[in-house]
Amino acid sequence: MQKKMEPFLVLTALFISSLFLPACNNSTSNNKEEATPQEARPASFASDDAFLDFIQQAHLNYMWEGAEATSGLAPERIHIDGEYPQNDADVVTTGGSGFGIAGLIVGMERGFIPREEGVTRLHQIADYLAAADRFHGVWPHWIHGPTGKVKPFGKKDNGGDLVESAFLM
């Protein structure tokens, strides 16, 4: 028997997918012909569970395919057009990366990403964070991906961020 989803959950999933699926569905692989987000998105789903699986996998791609290359961490933002008006193309978010790491673990368990590749990514992240800037053990809100150096969050905020570090851990 198929479980019934609450209308609020369905609406929330539709809203989230309309905002993020175009960004999350862009593949960075050079091995295959690129599909546009509209081509990659099915017109309908066999069940609510299939719809949620699709959304979960697409959102995992933000962390998996969209990760900053050096750190393997989640980018602060991705501009599909490649235009970064605030010069933030290489900025990673510590708190968001914590949620992304949890997503990697779920993605491996669900079979969305190969376990060996997921573990390799987790090692990359751990090694990077061990060498990245910290302040009394606390990471900053933002980190410049290629260097591991703090990217100031504001004029007077260029040190450790307890909340974001807690999300990361």
Instruction: Judge contact between 97 and 151, C-beta under 8 A.
Output: no
Tell me the per-residue pLDDT of 18-73, one tens digit each, with 9 for 90 and over. 444 444 444 444 444 454 555 567 788 899 889 988 888 888 888 898 899 999 99
Alpha-carbon Rg of the chain, whole angstroms?
17
Q: What is the pLDDT of residue 77?
A: 78
pTM across the whole model? 0.72
Residue 26 or 169, more confident: 169
User: Please, which pLDDT band fits residue 154 given cuts at 50, 70 and 90?
Assistant: confident
Q: What is the pLDDT of residue 36?
A: 52
Tell me the per-residue pLDDT of 77-110, one tens digit each, with 9 for 90 and over. 776 677 767 777 899 999 999 999 999 998 999 9
Tell me the per-residue pLDDT of 122-148, one tens digit each, with 9 for 90 and over. 999 999 999 999 999 999 999 999 999
Tokens of 45: 């789903």
At a CB cut-off of 8 Å and minimum separation 6, what does 35 contact? 25, 27
